[in-house]
Amino acid sequence: MSLDQVASSVDLGSAVSVAIGALVGSLMSSVTGSGGAAIIAFVLAPIIGVAAVVQTISVAMVISHVSRIGVFWTHINWPMCALVLAGATPGCVVGALIYTQLDERTISAVLGFFLVGMVAGRRFIPSNAGPLSRGAVLVIALLYGLIAGTTIGGGILVLPILVGAGLGGMALIGTDAAIGLATHFVKIVVFGSAQVLTLELAILGTVVGLCMIPGTFLARWILRRMPLAIHAALVDVVIVLGGLGFLIRALTGSA
């Protein structure tokens, strides 16, 4: 998709929707550790088509994660970050390569089922689960990398790992951001090599990413004042609606 095609697909209302979606998505992911990419994907898909969503969001999320790392730098657990990435990186490469071979309807179905499924699946994660072993962390991280490379929203699988390691609050958000930055960078490299990340999509992703930066600073303020349960519930609602939207596109064949 060229810049002219993107521009012709975007009216003032769409531009405002993308900007608001980026800000809200950044706020949600910076507060709860998940949901941001799903919100942005739901806004972008009607404009650029679902086949271009994951690679565009990867660029945007790199910028967003850099801002989150800067804000929560002193709270990041670097040893845990390194352990998770040891398992996630090879999985992410394989997942991204799989993604480049899928058609738009298949992508829509994968995105839809995953978004709805991850909300339902999170209900079965025990709140009192004990600490995870290093081996368990590596196995779950490999699964996370595979899903993260194929879809948006795979970051939800990182949360049980970090919670199981005893992380919470700003330490959870900061470490999640560091892991997400590395994961999305790997995806960008793979997508670029496979020629599915064009210059035009990279520019669009950069613009979206810049719109996400203010949400990180708002999140730090909100984390100290509002119960996370409220935000988590809102994220679940938005993710399910977005997932259903992708499933409808898969069933109808619309881009």
32 with 138: CB under 8 angstroms? no
Higher pLDDT pick, 19 / 100: 19
Q: What is the pLDDT of residue 179?
A: 92
Burial classification of residue 173, based on how many CB atoms lie within 10 Å of its CB (0-12 exposed, 13-18 middle, 19 or more buried): buried
Q: What is the mean pLDDT of residues 51-67?
A: 87
Tokens of 57: 């969001």
SS3 255: coil
Average pLDDT of span 215-221: 85
| Domain count within the chain | 1
Asked whether the predicted pLDDT for residue 218 surpasses 70, the reply is: yes
More confidently predicted of 9 and 192:
192
Q: Which one has a higher pLDDT value, 186 or 155?
A: 186
More confident residue, 130 or 204: 204
Note the pLDDT of residue 125. 58
Q: Among 54-68, 93-107, 221-235, 240-254, which stretch is predicted with the lowest mean pLDDT?
A: 221-235
Q: Residue 166 carries which DSSP code?
A: T
Provide the residue range defining the domain that includes 166: 3-252
Q: Is the pLDDT of residue 3 over 80?
A: no
CA angle 27-99-103, nearest 5°?
110
Predicted confidence (pLDDT) per residue in 107-148, tens digit: 777 777 777 776 776 666 555 555 667 888 888 888 888 877
* pLDDT over 60 (residue 7): no
Q: What's the whole-model pTM score?
A: 0.72
pLDDT at position 67, please?
A: 92
Residue in the block written with tokens 């999140």: 219
Query: Is the confidence at residue 199, as pLDDT, over 70?
Result: yes
